[in-house]
Chains A and B, each alone.
Chain A
Amino acid sequence: MKKKYAAVVLLTGVLMLNSCAANNSDSSKATVTDDIKSSGSVFAMDTYMTITAYGQNGKKGIEAAQKEITKLEKLWSVTDENSEIYTLDHSGGTEVPVSAETEELLNFAIDMHWQTKGALDITLYPVLRAWGFTTGEYCVPDDSEISALLECKGVERISVGNGKAYIPKNTEIDLGAVAKGCAGDAAAKALKEHGVTSALLDLGGNIQTIGDAKPDGTKWKVGIRDPFGEGSIGTLAVGECAVITSGGYERFFEKDGVIYKHILDPETGRPADSGLASVTVIGKEGRLCDALSTSLYVMGLDDACAYWRDSVDLEMILISDDGGVYVTEGIAENFSPKVENVTVIER
């Protein structure tokens, strides 16, 4: 009888041990822990930003990213009286000290100005304000007012270096076209530093991803907003990258039957009328995509294609005013459009 009990105990013991072992190996390879999804949101830079991170480090990473975004917003806000940009705009032509982050971004924006042959201009702020796009109190400024304000623009007037920046009196800058993209880069960096390997940042419509796939192995699915209506014109499956769209639909007003859109052509000081309804730029760096989405919109279809042919690691989706969708060949396969008139742009 004793032998019998011993056998039973032994058998049960073996079973228990095995089941423990099986359990352990299961949890180590299973995605249970990787699938933990954390999300956080920030109200910054005039929009609503959400961060979704997967994995155990998600929460910590998101906190760090939120901190980073808030810090950068404090540096670059044009309305916050304590921000470096506000101080610079109100310096009245004196040199002001700036942080390394601001210095780097100013230099980047100036570089981009020359690279895009002037399509990106951070000194256009006074003109933008005259149109009311900064406050929402829209009005159409007359030609003489615009030309007077255009006199004061020009990135060549900015000098940056050694922790200091200078702009002449009456010139004002606004980093709106690059700040969100740059904040996205910084937030992504913060997330990665905290061990996050899979995350999606939605900074008021600027999408940036970390990790070439979600924990379930599928690519990130990013919708591209339909500039003519509600919803999206298609979805794009991407790995780690930034997907940033600019379009006139974001902010506009109508006066006397004419629609005025918020993206201004630096040359004329009037809403850019390039024949494009929206430009989406896909690339590695958020700030580059952010800057290019605005400037390629100003350039128009042909110049944008030319710019793309001269660049590397860059893809785009252009939507023209007549509803045509143009996709560069590098991402054509990953783009599933909901509309039919799609043209692939070749090198």
Chain B
Amino acid sequence: MKTRTVCIIITLLVLCTAAVWCLSVMRPKSGKTAVISQNGKVLYRIDLSSEKDRTIEVTYEGRKNTIELQGGRIHMKCADCPDHICVDTGWLEDGKPIVCLPNRLVIEYENGDIDGTAR
């Protein structure tokens, strides 16, 4: 009888572990991966759902861009560029990458539901 109890407990443990694992596997699918690239080269690939709040600094020809991650969102906090379009773009959204043309910096989602946005 004792072995049976142990067996049942082990089985339940395995089931629970698997269930928790299942949930953790399914969760990041809803989260999104932001890609930060400069001049076509990928600098960072960030899973927004699991990333802690922080800032990332990127320099291009001596000019600096500060990217901020906050609560699963990402935006350009400040930039040493003349037009500040990247900062004005606001938080990153599907199909609308944050682009800093002078500093050749792009922040975009890896893959969303849609292939592109006409804008």
A interface, CB within 8 angstroms of B: 40-43, 46-48, 52, 136, 200, 202, 205-207, 209, 214, 220-225, 230-232, 235-236, 243-245, 247, 250, 280
Which of A42, A43, A209, A231 is in CB contact (< 8 Å) with B93?
A231
**Residues A223 and B104 in contact in the complex (CB < 8 Å), given A41-B40, A48-B97:** no
8 Å CB contacts to A: which residues of B97-117? 97, 99, 101, 104, 106, 113-117
**Would you call the interface of chain B mostly helix, strand, loop, or mixed?**
loop
**Residues A224 and B118 in contact in the complex (CB < 8 Å), given A41-B40, A48-B99:** yes
Asked whether B90 is an interface residue with its Cβ less than 8 Å from the other chain, the reply is yes
Q: Kindly list chain A residues whose C-beta atoms are within 8 Å of the C-beta of B2.
A: none
- Cα A243 to Cα B116 in complex, Å, equals 10
Which of A42, A207, A250 is in CB contact (< 8 Å) with B116?
A207
Q: Kindly list chain B residues whose C-beta atoms are within 8 Å of the C-beta of A202.
A: 116
Q: Kindly list chain A residues whose C-beta atoms are within 8 Å of the C-beta of B106.
A: 41, 48
Nearest-neighbour CB distance to chain A for B73, whole angstroms, equals 12
Q: Kindly list chain B residues whose C-beta atoms are within 8 Å of the C-beta of A224.
A: 117-118
Asked whether B119 is an interface residue with its Cβ less than 8 Å from the other chain, the reply is yes
Q: Kindly list chain A residues whose C-beta atoms are within 8 Å of the C-beta of B116.
A: 200, 202, 207, 220, 222-223
B118 touches A136 (CB 8 A): no
Which of B37, B97, B104, B118 is in CB contact (< 8 Å) with A206?
B118
- Cα A225 to Cα B113 in complex, Å, equals 14
B interface, CB within 8 angstroms of A: 37, 39-40, 82-83, 90, 93-97, 99, 101, 104, 106, 113-119
**Residues A223 and B95 in contact in the complex (CB < 8 Å), given A43-B104, A235-B114, A280-B118:** yes
**Residues A43 and B101 in contact in the complex (CB < 8 Å), given A202-B116, A221-B113:** yes
**Residues A230 and B90 in contact in the complex (CB < 8 Å), given A48-B101, A205-B119:** yes
21 CB contacts below 8 A, A to B, read A41-B40, A42-B40, A43-B39, A43-B101, A47-B101, A209-B115, A214-B115, A220-B116, A222-B116, A223-B116, A224-B118, A225-B96, A225-B117, A230-B93, A230-B96, A232-B117, A235-B114, A236-B118, A245-B118, A245-B119, A280-B118
Q: Which residue of A lies closest to B37 (CB)?
A: A41
B115 touches A221 (CB 8 A): yes
Nearest-neighbour CB distance to chain B for A220, whole angstroms, equals 5
Q: Kindly list chain A residues whose C-beta atoms are within 8 Å of the C-beta of B90.
A: 230
Q: Kindly list chain B residues whose C-beta atoms are within 8 Å of the C-beta of A52.
A: 115
Nearest-neighbour CB distance to chain B for A184, whole angstroms, equals 12
Q: Kindly list chain B residues whose C-beta atoms are within 8 Å of the C-beta of A209.
A: 115
Nearest-neighbour CB distance to chain B for A58, whole angstroms, equals 15
Give the most central of A202, A209, A243: most B CB within 10 Å: A202
- Cα A221 to Cα B113 in complex, Å, equals 8
Nearest-neighbour CB distance to chain B for A248, whole angstroms, equals 12
Q: Which residue of B lies closest to A244 (CB)?
A: B118
A243 touches B118 (CB 8 A): yes
- Cα A28 to Cα B40 in complex, Å, equals 32
Nearest-neighbour CB distance to chain B for A131, whole angstroms, equals 16
A205 touches B117 (CB 8 A): yes
Nearest-neighbour CB distance to chain B for A303, whole angstroms, equals 21
**Residues A250 and B119 in contact in the complex (CB < 8 Å), given A48-B99, A231-B93:** yes
Q: Kindly list chain B residues whose C-beta atoms are within 8 Å of the C-beta of A42.
A: 40
Q: Which residue of A lies closest to B97 (CB)?
A: A48
Nearest-neighbour CB distance to chain B for A237, whole angstroms, equals 10
- Cα A41 to Cα B104 in complex, Å, equals 11
Q: Kindly list chain A residues whose C-beta atoms are within 8 Å of the C-beta of B115.
A: 52, 200, 207, 209, 214, 220-222
- 20 further interface pairs, Cβ-Cβ under 8 Å (given A43-B39, A222-B114, A224-B118): A40-B40, A42-B40, A43-B101, A46-B101, A47-B101, A48-B99, A48-B101, A136-B83, A202-B116, A205-B117, A205-B118, A206-B118, A207-B118, A209-B115, A225-B96, A225-B118, A230-B90, A232-B94, A232-B95, A232-B114
